[in-house]
Amino acid sequence: MSRHSHWAKIKRGKGAADANRGVLFSKHARLITVAARESGGDPAFNFRLRLAVDRAKGDGMAKDAIDRAIARGTGASSGVIIETVLYEGIAPGGAGVLIECLTDNRNRALGEVKSVFTKQGGTLGGEGSVRWQFERRGVIRAEAASTKLQAASRESIELALIEAGAEDIQEEDGGLVAFTKIEDLQRVREAAERAGLTIADAGLEWVPKQRVDVPDGQREQFESFLGALDDLDDVQEVYTNASGY
């Protein structure tokens, strides 16, 4: 997600693991299953699966639960079919949002997302109504502790990432964020690891092309809206182009 939808969710997710580990692990399992189904069950040859497994391990998901999710994706275990669905709309305050769901029931997922829009004051749009405001990119986030380097070291690290394919490098919440083309994500991540950075998260995200401001008087409503979407079981990620999120 953007800063609310992804970076903040990573942080909140680790705390939520103590409060509601079942929901968190269920979301990880779905992501792993879909990745395994699409490109095979070996993380060494399936980068998307590797990313999903790394995230799950980071949140304390057990190895046997990860293996079961992979087995469901590769057909080694019987189970329901999980698919990716993307919904689009306008949040309270006028910002665009993309809601990425992994679900075994499209009707249920749509109904729950629609209910949040209705109750929270947003407007659910049709396909393509908001997506044009975003682009699909690789995003790599390094932990803040690993970016506290001398200027010369920082410059050499950024140069290494750029040579590997990073298109843009920014600071976010004290950490370092590199943006890449989809096909360059794995190469840039490997370059970051070789440079000694600790990777907090890496994956494909919908990144806004431009940011919009949410009026101060609607920020509380806007954040409540994002939180309500995040809490839905079928919702995997929520992306927004709101400034500061």
Low-confidence winner among 20-29, 33-42, 216-225 (lowest mean pLDDT): 20-29
Shared domain check, 226 and 126: yes
pLDDT tens readout for residues 6-16 = 435 444 444 44
More confident residue, 171 or 164: 164
Report the chain's mean pLDDT, rounded to a whole number: 86
Q: Are 196 and 156 in contact (CB under 8 A)?
A: no
Whether 240 and 1 have beta carbons less than 8 Å apart is answered as yes
pLDDT digits (tens, 9 = 90+) for 35-78: 888 888 898 888 889 888 988 888 889 999 999 989 888 876 65
- Residue 245 inside a domain? The answer is no
Is the C-alpha dihedral spanning 218, 176, 7, 42 positive or negative?
Answer: positive
Stretch 78-85: mean pLDDT: 78
Evaluate whether residue 193 is within a structural domain: yes
β-pair partners for 176: 142, 171
In this structure, is residue 183 part of a structural domain? yes
More confident residue, 73 or 210: 210
Number of structural domains the chain divides into: 3
Residue 7 CA to residue 135 CA, distance in Å, equals 17
CATH number at residue 20: 1.10.10.200
Determine, yes or no, domain membership for 30. yes
**Lowest-confidence range among 122-126, 149-153, 217-221?**
149-153
User: In terms of DSSP bridges, do strands 123-125 and 83-90 run parallel, antiparallel, or are they unpaired?
Assistant: antiparallel
Residues 101 and 140 in one domain: no
Tokens of 76: 């080694």
Mean predicted confidence (pLDDT) in 78-82: 71
**Is pLDDT above 80 for 231?**
yes
Band of pLDDT at residue 244, cut at 50, 70 and 90: confident
Q: Tell me the mean pLDDT in the region 106-134.
A: 96
pLDDT band for position 151 (50/70/90)?
A: low
Judgement on whether residues 167 and 61 belong to the same structural domain of the protein: no
Higher-confidence residue of 116 and 56: namely 116
Tell whether 142 and 35 lie within a shared domain: no
Encoding tokens for residue 104?
A: 């075994």
Domain that holds residue 95: 85-133+213-240
Check: CB of residue 6 under 8 Å from CB of residue 137.
no
